[in-house]
Amino acid sequence: MAINLRGVRGDLEPNSFGHTLGLVKGGAKIMAMVELKEREPRDLRLRNQYFPEAKNSVFDTGKKGFIPMPIIIRKLMRHLSASELRVLVYLQTRCSRYFICYPTLEEITYDLNLASRRNLTPHLKALEKKKFIATITAEGKKYFLVHDPRVAIIHLVESGEIDENELSEINRVFDDLKQSVITAKPRAATPKLEPTPIRKAKSG
């Protein structure tokens, strides 16, 4: 990058320390270190402008103690009841980096302040039916696997719960995220077989 300042010509070159500005004036070359300030991300500028104290009140993602929540999940909330979403978020917060967790039903019931396990079981079954989670019981312990939302989306498309218009909206989000879109289609309806009428034998 060349710089001209009132007869002073300079070339800006990056190096391991930052950028070196070589100035040539009157035949003499002067080397100077300059620091280039990168432009702040738009959202950070907006936050600093409208919420100047936000740094002290938002979660620091540079530290441990948070989970990845797929952005696309916001497009699936209409397919979840408030209670199902609550249970799904809870399981997300209990998962390891491998998206598996194994809290007891009693733990979940207590943490969600439910009256009993009977108030929890229907929501777990609904999440599993919609393919948001998978469960297995082994050696007397229940294990939960939280699926990538794509698994649920494909299932909801194939079962006819998500139509073409809604899928287009979902795929626009994937486009914005530079992720591959979903091309699933509803399953063809299985024709119902009509019962064969029983003929009565003629008497006589």
Tokens of residue 48, six digits: 């600093």
Q: Are residues 87 and 173 in the same domain?
A: yes
Q: Are residues 19 and 106 in the same domain?
A: no
Q: Are residues 72 and 114 in the same domain?
A: yes
Q: Are residues 100 and 68 in the same domain?
A: yes
- Per residue in 131-168, pLDDT (tens digit) is 999 999 999 999 999 999 999 999 999 999 999 999 99
**How much is the pLDDT for 17?**
44
Q: Are residues 103 and 154 in the same domain?
A: yes
Q: Are residues 174 and 91 in the same domain?
A: yes
Q: CB neighbours (10 Å) of residue 99? A: 16
Number of domains in the chain: 2
Q: Give domain status of residue 89, yes or no.
A: yes
**How much is the pLDDT for 28?**
53
Taking the alpha carbons at both ends of the chain, their separation in whole angstroms is 109
Residue 64 sits at the vertex; the CA angle it makes with 134 and 124, to the nearest 5 degrees, is 20
Q: Are residues 103 and 3 in the same domain?
A: no
pTM of the model: 0.72
**How much is the pLDDT for 68?**
87
Q: Give domain status of residue 124, yes or no.
A: yes
Q: Give domain status of residue 79, yes or no.
A: yes
Last residue of a domain, one of 11, 28, 53: 53
Q: Are residues 16 and 81 in the same domain?
A: no
Q: The domain that contains 162 carries what CATH number?
A: 1.10.10.10
Q: Are residues 74 and 101 in the same domain?
A: yes
Residues of the chain with pLDDT under 50: 8, 12, 16-18, 21, 34
3-state secondary structure of 178: coil
Q: Give domain status of residue 192, yes or no.
A: no
Domain extent for 127: 63-187
Q: How far apart are CA 172 and CA 169, in angstroms?
A: 5
Residue 11 sits at the vertex; the CA angle it makes with 6 and 15, to the nearest 5 degrees, is 145
Q: Give domain status of residue 38, yes or no.
A: yes
Q: Give domain status of residue 118, yes or no.
A: yes
